[in-house]
Amino acid sequence: MGLGRKLAAAATAVSAATALFTAAPASAAAAPIDWKPCPTGQGVECGKLTVPLDWDRPGDGTVQIALARRKATDPAHRIGSVLMDPGGPGGAGAGEVQGGWSLSPKVAARFDTVGFDPRGVGESTAIKCGLDEITAKNPVLPKDSAEFRQLLAYNRALGRSCERITGPLATHSDTRSVVRDMDAIRAALGDEKLTYYGVSYGTLMGQQYAEAYPDRVRALVLDSNMDHSIRSTWEFLKTETQATQELFEQFSDWCDRTTSCTLHGQDVSAVMAGLYARAERGDLGTPDDKLDPMALVGLVSQNFYGPTWGKLAKSMVDLRDGKPAEASFAKDDLPIPNPFTSIFCSDWRLPVTSYPQLDSYRRALAKVSPDLHFSPLGWSAAAGCASWPGPVRNPQHPLSVRPGVPMLLLNSRYDPATPYSWAVQASRQSGAPLVTYEGWGHGAYFKKSQCVIDTADSFLIDGTNPGRGKHCPAVEPSVQSRMDGPRAPVTQLY
């Protein structure tokens, strides 16, 4: 396989995958950041911050954290900085800010918008893995014990290549370490307390920052929440799959009531069942581009993030009729999350010990989701950690946040990546209020709901707490596409 084809295969393969602690304080005398104009992104400054590789052993070397800053547009009324992370794991916040990612103009007026690439990601000291290992055959949905052993061998080889090429950072990229980096960033920015917006996997960073540094929190808005208290592999897979099924049912209902849907008036579940059966037989797609079940369900679920339901309906019809399906988003817009598994598997202990166990999960999940059969993101994340060689430095635990820490949680009622039930659990454990967006998609702040935007903005700017139980009505996807609003980050994983 040539280099170009290997790189393309790596993009395809990886894009499919997709403890209570007290941290020692970051240095009180953090060096200021040397800001310079970014090579891309007009009006944005870039800089780097040096932090210990291992916060518990600061003499063992350092890594660099990349930052990008867009200054407050109303400097006379500037409050401070709002640190932002787009999730992933593997999303590059500094890169997103250079590309124009921001919260509302009201927030951008009062805060410097600061994005950071977490350790291992983007322009920070990066986790790099072997191309041959990434592009090796990986039966992520093994059909028998032999393929299960091949999956384990793939994971071991990939993880060892990351350690070989990257060095010790490959096993020091957990969220506990990122939280301590965040506190160093806060100090270097000159902010006495942290103001933060994190979406998806970025909520895990915010949750654990609140645990570690309750006295250093000014305001945390956590959007599309992780539930790091989930202990079992089955519970993780089940809740992800339930969310995926709910989104498919919502899509089907939308087609029923929307005449512009290409599948309007048709049995959407029956169409999906036919496509899935063909994917299992190996005859779905074109001769040059066959879709297996993982690729099919991944294509469908990608359209749940926006959501982009009109595009999904057209893709399903095209596939049914033997035409190439339109991709959910351009390949150039999808980051290749090479650090995903190194980071995720250092934060989650989700054991998978045998093929019969994994097969029993798959059969049970097909009952949870009769249309899609499993969550491609949840399945790939859990299966990708089976036999991963790195340590789980930050295993799951219930959130333990001191009462009164200023946190606000947001979540869509129908979210394909971070199920609503996860946000409910995070709210219950932390005591933080949860604002429910009654609509669809990932990243509630970016769904053109003025109710969500205003509630989050008021909390960030002046600390206005909406109280418990606030709900914001849904905005129809067809209406969303015609409205202006803050631009969501490109990251489409957690």
Query: Average pLDDT per run of 10 along the chain, which is 494 residues long?
Result: 43 38 40 88 92 95 97 97 95 95 97 98 93 91 97 96 93 97 97 98 98 98 98 97 97 96 97 96 86 94 94 95 64 49 97 96 97 97 96 96 97 97 98 98 96 98 95 88 76 72
| Whole-number pLDDT of residue 31 | 67
Residue 326, number of CB atoms within 10 A of its CB: 13
**Beta strand pairing status for 471-472 and 434-440?**
parallel
| Whole-number pLDDT of residue 326 | 63
Give φ, ψ of 138 to 5 degrees.
Answer: -130, 95
In whole angstroms, what separates CA 78 from the centre of its chain?
A: 30
| Whole-number pLDDT of residue 323 | 82
Burial zone of 281 (CB within 10 Å; 0-12 exposed, 13-18 middle, 19+ buried): exposed
Q: Which of 241, 222, 231, 245 is nearest to 426 (CA)?
A: 222
Please give the model's pTM, rounded to 2 decimal places. Answer: 0.91
Residue 194 host element (H or E) = strand 194-199
| Whole-number pLDDT of residue 3 | 37
Separation CA 318–CA 400 (nearest Å): 49
Separation CA 271–CA 96 (nearest Å): 37
Identify the DSSP state of 475.
-
Separation CA 300–CA 318 (nearest Å): 13
Burial zone of 299 (CB within 10 Å; 0-12 exposed, 13-18 middle, 19+ buried): buried
| Whole-number pLDDT of residue 329 | 40
Residue 46 makes CB contacts below 8 A (sequence gap 6+) with 35, 36, 37, 38, 39, 66, 67, 68, 69, 94, 98
| Whole-number pLDDT of residue 331 | 35
Residue 272 makes CB contacts below 8 A (sequence gap 6+) with 248, 300, 316, 371, 372
| Whole-number pLDDT of residue 407 | 98
Dihedral sign for Cα atoms in the order 74, 76, 77, 79: positive
| Whole-number pLDDT of residue 42 | 84
User: Tokens at residue 229, please?
Assistant: 């208290």
| Whole-number pLDDT of residue 332 | 34
| Whole-number pLDDT of residue 328 | 43
Separation CA 25–CA 66 (nearest Å): 20
What is the per-residue DSSP string for 272-321?
HHHHHHHHHHT--EETTEE--HHHHHHHHHHTTTTT-HHHHHHHHHHHHT
User: Tokens at residue 198, please?
Assistant: 């994190």
Task: Identify the three-state secondary structure at position 45.
Answer: strand
User: Tokens at residue 62, please?
Assistant: 């350092």
Give φ, ψ of 199 to 5 degrees.
Answer: -120, 140
Residue 331, number of CB atoms within 10 A of its CB: 11
User: Tokens at residue 338, please?
Assistant: 């090479």
Task: Identify the three-state secondary structure at position 440.
Answer: strand
Separation CA 70–CA 101 (nearest Å): 10
